[in-house]
A and B are shown apart, each in its own frame.
Chain A
Amino acid sequence: MDSNTRDDLLDLFRSKFNRAMKYYLETCTRCGVCTEACHVYASTGQTKYIAAYRHEIIRRLYKKYFKARGKIWPSVGEAKILDDVAIEELYDAAYSCTGCRRCMLYCPFGIDTQMLMSIAKLILIGASAEPEILTMLADTSVEKGKSLDLFKDGFMMGVKRLEAQIVEKWQVEAGQTAIPVDVEGADLLYVALAGAHSIIPAAAVFNAAGENWTLSFFEAVNFGAFVGDPTKTKLILDRIINEATRLNVKEVCVCECGTAFRVMKQLSGKQPFKVSSITDVHARYIREGRIKLDKSKFTQTVTYHDPCQIARNGGVIDEARYILQHLTDHYTEMSPDPRYNWCCGGGGGLVALGDETLDFRMKSSRVKVDQVQATGAKILTTACENCHTQLDNLNEHYKMGLEVRFLSSMVAEALVNGKHPGA
């Protein structure tokens, strides 16, 4: 690595500095309390996956280049040169961390590993060593935001096809559009993912609840956040913020996507609209009596996997349980304390990387499999696309014999009002 490249990468490192980051870079005492926190360590027993070890990979570079010590006495903190080997190490640390932040519950100081890993991810982008596919996907999303008109027609055709499927199964009031799009003054903008499973059940519930809603042109997922590119994260987020502002909606409801929800809820700053997850909204409909659910639909034991970005990091915990109380009499908790729920092992862009990470994802999530199996549940439900894919993969790989479901689709299936009799 030549010195110009290194300087550029160190500039990227510096660009991540803020007060919190400085605290995290200066403080770790390497006490080892975080040892058992990471599901990857708990499943594989490899030291390099302990949170503090991951931190230290970043911190050693910090000590080398941003502390006087790195020049005077580098060995005292094992300060390390940023070279190609370091880049590989950064990759290994960043793309084995799902950003679940479970380790924050172990650290006496609450050091945020995801924050520190964001430095690694940004350096990887600078060194063109990030997973290319994530950057490509992020670029596609950004492009879509710039040239909405180009794909609008195709999008509308897709929506029409989905509407037909909705009308087949659920009642739609006369004069009501099954999937309203681009409705100015709607109360709620629903940001879905590309895929019928993210739109159809949600639409059925919105319609049953009599919601004045509209579907976003854009998919919720933020590949910019996965790859750790702050500029692209913002551009992808802004597409939705601009749409919500243009349509003057009161609320933006993010579909079952952990990253999208956390980015929208916590990264978008103060907005003139409220940000909710679809789990929030469904719980509210039940509470207000706007939808009613048939408890007899699900007679097998159901357990719920709290998506890290929605529960521990997003605060939507009780709402899911409220829904489940109204959905089934056979609910069983997965973890005595939802904060400590094991990550599914698919976050941080790992699931988006598909087969490339499959082997690692399966090996690194043994503790999740054990946790699910201990519940004895037959239906495993969750409220995040990534978690769902990963849990599905685990189910298959470990032959768990489960039915993996989206919580929203279970709600739609159990709808009493808004459903064709006998459907």
Chain B
Amino acid sequence: MQSVYYFIMVPMVYIAFAVFFVGISVKIVKILREPKQPMTLQIFPEKQPKWLWALHDTLLFPTIRRHKPVLWVFIMAFHICLLLLLIGHLELMADFAVFQIIPHEIFIGNGFVGLTLVVCLLYLIFRRFQSPVKDLSVPEDYYLLILLFLIVLFGSEMDWARRWYGYEELAVEDYNAYLLSLLAFKPELPYNTTFSGHSFMLVLHIFFANLLLIFFPFTQLMHSILALPMNKLRRG
């Protein structure tokens, strides 16, 4: 079992990040090597400055707000929480003064960010069981949402255990040591990460996260990168 744990927590993490970065780079290079779109694709009337409006469209999803306000609330909450959790992971590795503008313990939000994300993901999954979104969806859409759900659920459970139930065995120091060792390419697994009662959650969290990173460049998740240039095309 320990060798499975080791594979997931060390070699697979490296493989996943390699696929993630190389995959995305190759995809972007391939797109950029295509000829530029010869004619404008913009929608009128236009607003200046166009790049700022494209940024606005990319970050605030105004078309969803206008046409599907309830979905917008969940989508917005989902993306903001995702960002906060990514910041949380960075904080597991080092202290960033900039993130401590609002003083907090790691992770920010005392467990509620993860909870919100779980609720949002459930909403996003269940709305895909309904027509007409059901008729538009392909298996990929469900797999990705389920994968995200599992990642967030297992990840949040570790947070909840520490924050809400005082489960201190698997502590921030353990995560910190593990992540920094990976970063330094001298991987080591602190005892608690693989032998404590909650280590299975950590392993599953990492396993599903690895899968997501591997799938990322080949799926619709690329929207996170392509949304801005596409919105720029619409703005002209």
Contact = CB atoms under 8 A, between A and B. Distances in A.
B42 to A, nearest CB: 8
B186 interface: no
Contact of A23 (B38, B40, B138, B229): B229
A27 B35 contact: no
Contacts of B234: 104, 110, 112
A50 interface: yes
Nearest to B127: A32
B230 A267 contact: no
A108 B78 CA distance: 15
B44 A22 contact: no
B226 interface: yes
Give chain B's interface secondary structure class: helix
A135 to B, nearest CB: 22
A77 B140 contact: yes
Nearest to B54: A110
B2 interface: no
A88 interface: no
Given A20-B233, A23-B31, A75-B139, A33 B67 contact: yes
A32 B223 CA distance: 15
Contacts of A77: 138-140
A384 to B, nearest CB: 15
Nearest to A314: B44
Interface in A49-64: 50, 52-53, 56
A318 B30 CA distance: 41
Nearest to B138: A78
Nearest to B137: A30
A20 B227 contact: no
B77 interface: no
Given A19-B36, A27-B220, A105 B63 contact: yes
A233 B133 CA distance: 36
A69 to B, nearest CB: 6
Interface in B63-96: 63-64, 67-68, 71, 75
User: Which of B36, B46, B220 has the most C-beta atoms of chain A within 10 angstroms of its own C-beta?
Assistant: B220
Given A104-B234, A108-B63, A110-B234, A30 B31 contact: no
A19 B32 contact: yes
B132 A32 contact: yes
Interface in B194-217: none
A104 B43 contact: yes
Interface string B219-236: 010110011011101100
Given A19-B34, A23-B226, A108 B64 contact: yes
User: Which of A21, A31, A47, A50 has the most C-beta atoms of chain B within 10 angstroms of its own C-beta?
Assistant: A31
User: Which of A17, A108, A112, A115 has the most C-beta atoms of chain B within 10 angstroms of its own C-beta?
Assistant: A108
Contacts of B36: 18-19
Given A35-B132, A56-B138, A109-B227, A27 B222 contact: yes
A170 B18 CA distance: 76
Interface in B33-58: 34-41, 43-46, 57
B136 interface: yes
A269 B43 contact: no
Contacts of B30: 22
User: What 9 pairs between A and B have smallest CB-CB spacing?
Assistant: A110-B234, A315-B44, A20-B37, A32-B133, A109-B230, A47-B135, A30-B136, A78-B138, A266-B39
10 contacts: A33-B71, A76-B140, A77-B138, A78-B138, A108-B61, A110-B231, A267-B38, A312-B43, A312-B44, A339-B43
